[in-house]
Chains A and B, each alone.
Chain A
Amino acid sequence: MEAQSSVWRPTGSLARSVIVATVGVVASVVGGRPVLLVLVAPMVVTAAFALVRRPPGRPSAHVTLGHRLLHEGQGTLSRLVLTGAEGAEQVTRVAAREPYVRVHPAAGRASRLVAGGPVDFEVSPRRWGRRTLGDGAVALTSAWGGFRWGPVTTGGDRISVLPTSVPYGSRAESPQPRGLVGAHRSARTGSGTEFSGIRGFEPGDRLRRINWRVSARSGRLHVTTTRAEEDAGVLLVVDALADHGRSDGVDGGESSLDLTVRAAAAVAEHAVRQGDRVSLRVLGRDSRQLGYGAGWVHLRRVLGALAAVQPVAAQDGEVERLQLRAAEGTMVVVLSPMLAEVLGTVTATALRRGLPTLVVDTLPEDAAPAVTRGTDPVAADLAWRLRRLEREQVLSSLAALGCPVVPWRGPGTIDEVTRRLARRAQQPRVVVR
């Protein structure tokens, strides 16, 4: 963004040197005091040089970012580009203090000679979300400190900082893969590589599937059957109704929303790597859903949607009317601190539909309630304890329904749970419709 227009103006230093020099010279001459001329002689020279070196032109400044797509914790170069700055000797650049944005060097404060090269800052967003990078102010000063341009604001670029998504290797199968082509073993036979059984030859069977050893022994043609390999659908349900706990950025303490968003990003990236289709549902005000999709472009969309998540309480009844658009076989991953009762309802509904569902608990252990000013701390503490008791009850009820609940402990957290769900999917079950 380009800085607003400004012109060169005399500095306080120039005014001081001119005033003192004039007073000194006049008083010296009028009063016959040569000593005053000795005192102000250096100021006279300073003022003369400063006046002579008044810069021409109207400078402008703008800031460019080295990268416009960043994950939290990554950094880029914020470069100050000056044009029309002929005659400027010194530049001062001050970066605006933006939450969760680290600036280097000197915390975004620099003053140096223009001839010394561009004034660059390394900026690094420390938390996912919408962040403004490159915002700040710039001032130029002419030689001998006589004239100043600015300070003017340079504005900044608002970019989406994507959550970190540490990829992880997992061999856990999807519980109920229902797709066309993928990496998960299906319950039905097909053209995969996993052995399923041997049966008699039927018209339409491929010749390369004939098991010659069994055919020779039995006297009839037999073929080897394999299990199909299919992709699966993963629906990520992100609880953005509130943010509990304190967030210190990517290398500090994590709030519940930090854990939720980062966990969702990790699961989404893992699913995309496996070729699965991923959908995202953000629960909050104006609950939004990102449709099913696969591939890296879709992953970028998912991460972008996660970066736009803001903790906003939903309006009355908005979440209760929520419809999870999940097809049969879709694995539902609910990422939530489970402090809102409605999340328990949503999860139970998915379970009753027979969808393989698991809850990733994202409430930090040391989470404390956000108490507004004027609230009695004793009452707030009591309310928080009651809320946590209700939460435990919800989690117990979900576990009784057969829904695994796992606290998020980084990549791989849901591996064991997914394996258990896959084993359970092989067993007969009753589905309530």
Chain B
Amino acid sequence: MRHWTPGQWVVRLVVLTGPLLALSAEGLQGDGPGWPLLVIVAALSAAFALYPESPAGSVAFVLVLASWWEGGAGLVDASALLAAAALIASHVAAVLAAYGPDDVPLDREVTLLWLVRGAAVFLAAPAVWLLADALSDQPEQAGVWVAGVVAATTAVLFAIVAGRDREPA
């Protein structure tokens, strides 16, 4: 840690606080997460900040999702957008931190590129949020979501296959 550059300190702070903020945002719509879960996520986030490539980040994120699954009860309000922003910010910060050893200074252009990317991909969250809000009064929601997810998954698989086709033999 003593070798960290100022940039590394900033991105690792974002990595650390992202999952905690996403977890805490759940409290804005009702009952917040319990203290035991907060402590566990905090510990995992700390490990995630120290080792951005480790599975600790995945586990912390999944625990956040589990907490929202438990407390969300199908309601979608604006606090979900805050949680989504915190999660993607933490993810992007971890990508930046993992580009090299912890004493490598962050490149300005790379950081700017990822800030733009983070902001761009975050737009998917309000889009889905608006869609969910629009469909909230419709019957047979589950079928709609399954169809949407299947379509999205097919698109992703198609993109992966297309990407692999470009590789040399």
Q: For window 100-137 of chain A, which residues contact chain B by CB distance below 8 Å?
A: 106-107, 109-113, 116
Per-position 1/0 for A42-57, Cβ under 8 A of B: 1111111101111011
Q: Give the interface size class of chain A.
A: 35 or more
Q: Per a CB cutoff under 8 Å, which of A12, A38, A48, A111 touches B106?
A: A111
CB-nearest residue of chain A to B106? A111
| Secondary structure dominating the interface of A | helix
Q: Is the CB of A36 within 8 A of B58?
A: no
Q: Nearest Cβ distance between residue A97 and chain B, in whole angstroms?
A: 11
CB of A170 within 8 Å of the partner chain? no
CB of A406 within 8 Å of the partner chain? no
- Complex contacts, A36 vs chain B, CB 8 Å: 65, 68-69, 72
Per-position 1/0 for B126-169, Cβ under 8 A of A: 01110010011000011001100100110110011011101110
CB of A212 within 8 Å of the partner chain? no
Q: Is the CB of B109 within 8 A of A42?
A: no
Using known A-B contacts A13-B98, A29-B142, determine if residue A54 contacts B58 with beta carbons closer than 8 Å. Answer: no
A111→B104 CA distance, assembly (Å):
7
- Complex contacts, A16 vs chain B, CB 8 Å: 55, 57-58, 61, 91, 94
Q: Nearest Cβ distance between residue A83 and chain B, in whole angstroms?
A: 14
Q: Per a CB cutoff under 8 Å, which of B53, B69, B76 touches A12?
A: B53
CB-nearest residue of chain A to B92? A46
- Complex contacts, B103 vs chain A, CB 8 Å: 107, 109
CB-nearest residue of chain B to A53? B163
Q: Nearest Cβ distance between residue B66 and chain A, in whole angstroms?
A: 8
Q: Nearest Cβ distance between residue B56 and chain A, in whole angstroms?
A: 10
| Secondary structure dominating the interface of B | helix
CB of B125 within 8 Å of the partner chain? yes
Q: Is the CB of B101 within 8 A of A38?
A: no
- Complex contacts, B146 vs chain A, CB 8 Å: 29
CB of A271 within 8 Å of the partner chain? no
Q: Is the CB of A113 within 8 A of B83?
A: no
Q: Is the CB of B95 within 8 A of A37?
A: no
CB of A389 within 8 Å of the partner chain? no
Q: Is the CB of B145 within 8 A of A37?
A: yes
Q: Is the CB of B22 within 8 A of A39?
A: yes
A41→B81 CA distance, assembly (Å):
10
CB of B113 within 8 Å of the partner chain? yes
A11→B94 CA distance, assembly (Å):
11
Q: Is the CB of B53 within 8 A of A56?
A: no
CB of A25 within 8 Å of the partner chain? yes
Q: Is the CB of B132 within 8 A of A37?
A: yes
Q: Is the CB of A41 within 8 A of B124?
A: yes
Q: Is the CB of B121 within 8 A of A39?
A: no
A102→B67 CA distance, assembly (Å):
51
Q: Is the CB of A35 within 8 A of B80?
A: yes
- Complex contacts, A40 vs chain B, CB 8 Å: 65, 84, 87
Q: Is the CB of A113 within 8 A of B109?
A: yes
Most chain B CB neighbours (cut-off 10 Å) among A39, A54, A116: A39
Q: Is the CB of B91 within 8 A of A111?
A: no
Binds B, one of A70-78, A139-147, A321-329, A370-378: A139-147
The 9 closest A-B pairs by CB, nearest first: A12-B53, A92-B100, A41-B124, A42-B88, A34-B132, A35-B72, A42-B121, A145-B95, A56-B167
Chain B residues within 8 Å of A, Cβ to Cβ? 22, 52-55, 57-58, 61-62, 64-65, 68-69, 72, 74-76, 80-81, 83-84, 87-88, 91, 94-95, 98-101, 103-107, 109-110, 113, 117-118, 121-122, 124-125, 127-129, 132, 135-136, 141-142, 145-146, 149, 152-153, 155-156, 159-160, 162-164, 166-168
Given contacts A29-B146, A35-B76, A37-B132, 18 further A-B contacts (CB under 8 A): A11-B98, A16-B91, A19-B62, A20-B62, A25-B149, A32-B142, A35-B72, A38-B80, A38-B81, A43-B87, A46-B88, A48-B156, A51-B163, A54-B163, A56-B167, A56-B168, A112-B110, A144-B117
